């Protein structure tokens, strides 16, 4: 263990606090200094020693009653928090907005060539439909609904 690191584990949140007049004995009472939780001690140790393994952390902090399971739980929680921050947010509004584009007026009908080629006007109309639908997935869902209605 590197002893040149600042003592983040035993440091309280208010290191620079000056003793008050109510503290006549000169030693801080338990009500003056808030006790640091096990999780906070583990987080601070990990911050000071990022490459430390769980067993090293337990050995360094066992005087504070920290067990191997405590270190594992804190690391697991930190991983979950990091995963939530990096995960893309889910868009639930688009699913609810899918029926709305059906109320918009239909694009003007353009004759489709019989040779299988798509005209530029048809392509632009299709792109506008996808844009109004809110994306390709929503446009496909709308087309699937139309197919179901026509087949019924």
All residues at 6 or more sequence positions from 139 whose CB lies less than 8 Å from its CB, including other chains: 129, 130, 133
Is residue 37 classed as helix, strand or coil in its secondary structure? coil
Q: What is the mean pLDDT of residues 56-72?
A: 92
Tokens of 96: 């609810």
- What DSSP assignment string belongs to 57-92? HHHHHGGGT--HHHHHHHHHHHHHHHHHHHSPPP--
Tokens of 82: 């990091």
pLDDT at 136 over 50: yes
Tell me how far CA of residue 30 lies from CA of 23, 34, 40, 74, in angstroms.
11, 7, 18, 25
Tell me how far CA of residue 35 lies from CA of 23, 64, 123, in angstroms.
18, 11, 67
What percentage of residues in the chain have a pLDDT greater than 70?
A: 60
Average pLDDT, the chain: 75
User: For residue range 11-39, what is the model confidence (pLDDT) as tens digits?
Assistant: 554 444 444 444 444 444 444 556 889 99
Check residue 52 and report its DSSP letter: -
Domain boundaries along the sequence of the chain = 1-87, 93-151
pLDDT in the model for residue 25: 47
pLDDT band at 70 (very low <50, low <70, confident <90, very high): very high
Place of tokens 């699937």: 144
pLDDT at 1 over 90: no
Least confident of 20-34, 41-55, 125-139: 20-34
User: For residue range 83-122, what is the model confidence (pLDDT) as tens digits?
Assistant: 888 877 666 555 545 455 555 555 555 555 556 788 899 9
What SS3 string covers 109-132? Answer: CCCCCCCCCCCHHHHHHHHHHHHH
**pTM to 2 decimal places:** 0.40
pLDDT in the model for residue 22: 45
């Amino acid at each position: 263990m590197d002893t040149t690191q600042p003592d983040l584990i035993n440091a309280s949140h208010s290191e620079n606090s000056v003793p008050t007049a109510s503290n006549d004995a000169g030693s801080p009472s338990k009500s003056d200094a808030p006790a640091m939780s096990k999780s906070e001690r583990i987080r601070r140790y990990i911050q000071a020693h990022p490459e430390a393994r769980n067993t090293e952390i337990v050995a360094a902090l066992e005087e504070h009653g920290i067990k191997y399971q405590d270190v594992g739980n804190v690391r697991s929680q930190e991983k979950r928090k990091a995963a939530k921050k990096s995960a893309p947010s889910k868009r639930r509004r688009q699913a609810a907005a899918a029926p709305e584009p059906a109320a918009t007026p239909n694009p003007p009908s353009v004759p489709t060539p019989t040779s299988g080629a798509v005209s530029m006007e048809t392509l632009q109309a299709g792109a506008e439909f996808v844009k109004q639908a809110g994306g390709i997935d929503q446009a496909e869902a709308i087309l699937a609904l139309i197919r179901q209605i026509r087949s019924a």
